[in-house]
Structure 1
Amino acid sequence: MSSTPAVDVSSLHVRRGLHKALDDVSLQVPAGSITGLLGPSGCGKTTLMRSVVGTQIIESGTVTVLGEPAGARGLRRRVGYVTQAPSVYTDLTVTENVAYYAALYGRDRAAVADTIAAVGLAGLAGHAGNAADALSGGQLGRVSLACSLVGDPELLVLDEPTVGLDPVLRAELWEHFRALAARGVTLLVSSHVMDEADHCDALVLLRDGRLVAQLTPRELRDRTGEERLEDAFLHLIRGDAAGTETEGTR
């Protein structure tokens, strides 16, 4: 992993209407690593990811990605983003979808085949000639992943990429994520599945738009005294909530 962070977030504030979606969040994502973004629904995970890829209007603070301001033109070919909702054209086949994104990134047909084969670890290769509207939700999610991977990004931002997948497919995708990180790609991955946290080099824990902690899975266990990551996460989150309520009564 490089000593220079791939993502550097400093004093980030994001407001949506009257709601403060992110409140003074500062963190770094090491290059060539897998960082897991964890927290309850509505805690700000997707807002933070949108801020990193440059699609979120921010109130104040800075987000630097691969040495440039988030959303800069120079990052368009260097950052891949997989949203919760599949981003595919349902009237095109799997191959046509991936080929379309490959053309946008200036990649050749060989890259299309290689990417489909890579995501084929989760069973996509056998559906390459099918129209996307005939695929299951999990298969559509893998098409979205292939469309992002075909550009060979330096940073891959994944918003709950394993939702709806069975345990075998989830395991295969995480093996692929680990292989990408070993090759030097940086991954920022959000998840609601706590056992996936053990696949990450570092964890970012959010609650109510605030950063609760940034630490490794081992450090989370040591800090809470809990061996199961789900128990450790709940211990830390509930302790943070209790501390916030105490401060509010002073």
Structure 2
Amino acid sequence: MTEPAAHPSAPGAAPASAARQTGLLLAVSTVIFALRPAREAATSSPGLWLPLVRRIRPPYEGQWALPGGPLGLDEDLEAAAARTLRATTALAPNYLEQLYAFGTLDRAPEATNAAPGATDRVVSIVYWALVNADEVTQSSEHSAGDENVAWFSVDDLPDLAFDHDVIIEYALWRLRNKVEYSRIAHAFLGDTFTLAELREVHEAVLGRSLDPANFRRQIESSNAIVPTGKRVTGTSYRPPKLYRYNQAVDPVDRGPLPRKPKP
């Protein structure tokens, strides 16, 4: 088949009718980021990880790919992205944000349709989201024993099918730009957090250390977070303050578009 359905044995397979015109197939893919410590050092600083699925049929059989699948004729784009993600990884993020459309002419050169020798052009609409530790745990339990689903550090990715390396690189660029001006880091944290925990998220996303004093000044002047009036309990020395994000700001800027309920 084509780029979609990296793990077609999972439940929730694509609808029988795909959004296809002659020579054109529309697909959806998802890039999901989570913060996880390195496997070899559970106490180390966290880094960015993402789930991949192994393709079990040509083209690129045996290679890893982003979760995805063909768009059904009766599906919204976001609903299709949520369906394929849930079927392969059991992840169901609170939001999915459209990242970009990828459609270079040679991105799926081996894809063929029913006509012998004819080549499909595959256009993928890619969505992305961030998930927290609890969601990662749920996904890992779902895929336990399934060698075709695994989490990888963004710093140590395997060879990927199609142009999925380009997609991930673009998603990382978007995330690193967005974390400095939006409340997107909230997805990695609980409802309340310390400034040190928030700084740790920013450092993991940006891939560099941040000066604690400068970070505090920048964050407190941004009005992105507000103090809760509470402090961390159970510490023996000067417990740090707890903060929460300003709820007036949505993690996904949809402009005038209405927010759709989760499928």
Report the TM-score range of the alignment, normalised by the length of the smaller protein. under 0.3
TM-score calculated relative to the size of structure 1: 0.28
**1 or 2 for the larger relative contact order (CA 8 Å, sep ≥6)?**
1
Could you say which structure has the larger radius of gyration? Answer: 2
The structure with the greater share of residues assigned to helix is 1
